[in-house]
């Protein structure tokens, strides 16, 4: 892969995961709004933001090129549903004191990316990668066996986002066009729900304080920018390489949950986190060693 493209991909991945890592702080600011309503605002304002962005960047030709391929448009409907479910689960978790489990999900996600890369993209699985995945699996199984529970939220977030990343890489659509079409698929449902069915203290925008409405509008930016960065990273890097950077996001979430929002590490979470962190350590060591060996062979 071209060196410049690789550098760009690394920059995009770091930007995406940093924003995702601090995103829970934003959702805490609008916690009085029901998760389903926050979800609809994410979709509506993201779609409008994308329209403005594509117009300003004069990228409508790329959008028309994608729209001329019905198969890709239909596949983007699938990715839209996948990422929409991920958004809704994440918002609910953050605003219901499950930020730690959300961070666990995103710690697991890089390892699932590695498995998906092997199963669906024919990316080779190295020995230490096998060990990392085994350790992560053991962490989940120990929690199930010892404490009788599964980290459902964490697994749901990890799997949904891994599927989204895999599909976006397979579809091969540019970040802006893909994001616009995805939000366009979700826009009618979001608008019908918000303006036709939602009935809460915050669902009537004209009755809300201006500050709250501005925060809800900001959901479009908070949603769109990191997803575009992520899609751009996926187009430039191997899926397993993109997964390498994801430890940044959940680390920031973990720190926010424990330091700022008072969530406690229960014994079952401590066991699972311990295995996941060990797995990630093995994964990172393998990635660094493999990169060093590759550079030696090239030189």
Predicted confidence (pLDDT) per residue in 205-232, tens digit: 888 999 999 999 999 888 888 888 887 8
pLDDT given for residue 243 in this prediction: 65
What does the pLDDT read at residue 287?
A: 72
Nearest residue to 69 (alpha-carbon basis) of 217, 197, 173: 173
**pLDDT > 70? residue 191:** yes
For the beta carbon of residue 18, count every other beta carbon within 10 angstroms.
16
pLDDT at 123: 76
Residue 30: predicted pLDDT: 93
Note the pLDDT of residue 187. Answer: 96
Top pLDDT among 139 and 96 is at 96
The 10s digit of each residue's pLDDT in 56-69 is: 889 899 999 999 99
Range ranked top by mean pLDDT from 109-113, 255-259, 263-267, 268-272: 255-259
pTM: 0.84
User: Which of 27-31, 125-129, 155-159 has the weakest average pLDDT?
Assistant: 125-129
Q: Which of 47-51, 136-140, 289-293 is predicted least confidently?
A: 289-293
Residue 42 has pLDDT above 90, yes or no: yes
Residue 7 pLDDT exceeds 70: yes
Instruction: Report residue 187 as tokens.
Output: 């826009």
The pLDDT of residue 1 is above 60: no
Q: What is the pLDDT of residue 240?
A: 66
pLDDT of 87 strictly over 70: yes
Mean pLDDT of the chain: 87
């Amino acid at each position: 892969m071209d060196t410049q493209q690789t550098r760009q991909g690394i920059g995009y991945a770091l930007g995406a995961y940093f924003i995702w890592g601090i995103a829970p702080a934003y959702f805490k600011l609008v916690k009085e709004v029901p998760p389903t309503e926050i979800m609809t605002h994410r979709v509506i304002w993201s779609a409008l933001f994308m329209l403005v962005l594509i117009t300003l960047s004069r990228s409508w030709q790329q959008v028309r090129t994608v729209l001329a391929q019905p198969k890709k448009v239909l596949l983007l409907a699938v990715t839209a549903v996948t990422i929409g479910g991920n958004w809704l689960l994440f918002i609910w978790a953050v605003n219901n004191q499950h930020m730690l489990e959300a961070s666990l999900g995103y710690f697991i996600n890089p390892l699932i990316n590695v498995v998906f890369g092997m199963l669906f993209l024919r990316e080779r699985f190295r020995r230490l990668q096998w060990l990392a995945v085994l350790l992560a699996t053991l962490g989940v199984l120990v929690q199930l066996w010892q404490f009788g529970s599964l980290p459902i939220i964490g697994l749901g977030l990890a799997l949904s986002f891994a599927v989204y990343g895999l599909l976006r890489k397979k579809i091969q659509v540019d970040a802006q066009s893909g994001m616009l079409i995805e939000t366009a698929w979700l826009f009618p449902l979001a608008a019908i729900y918000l303006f036709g069915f939602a009935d809460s203290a915050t669902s009537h925008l004209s009755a809300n304080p201006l500050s709250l409405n501005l925060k809800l509008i900001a959901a479009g930016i908070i949603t769109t920018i990191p997803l575009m960065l992520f899609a751009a990273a996926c187009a430039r890097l191997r899926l397993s390489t993109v997964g390498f950077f994801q430890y940044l996001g959940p680390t920031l979430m973990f720190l926010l949950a424990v330091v700022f929002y008072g969530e406690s590490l229960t014994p079952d979470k401590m066991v699972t986190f311990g295995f996941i962190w060990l797995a990630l350590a093995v994964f990172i060591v393998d990635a660094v060693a493999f990169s060093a060996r590759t550079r030696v062979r090239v030189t």
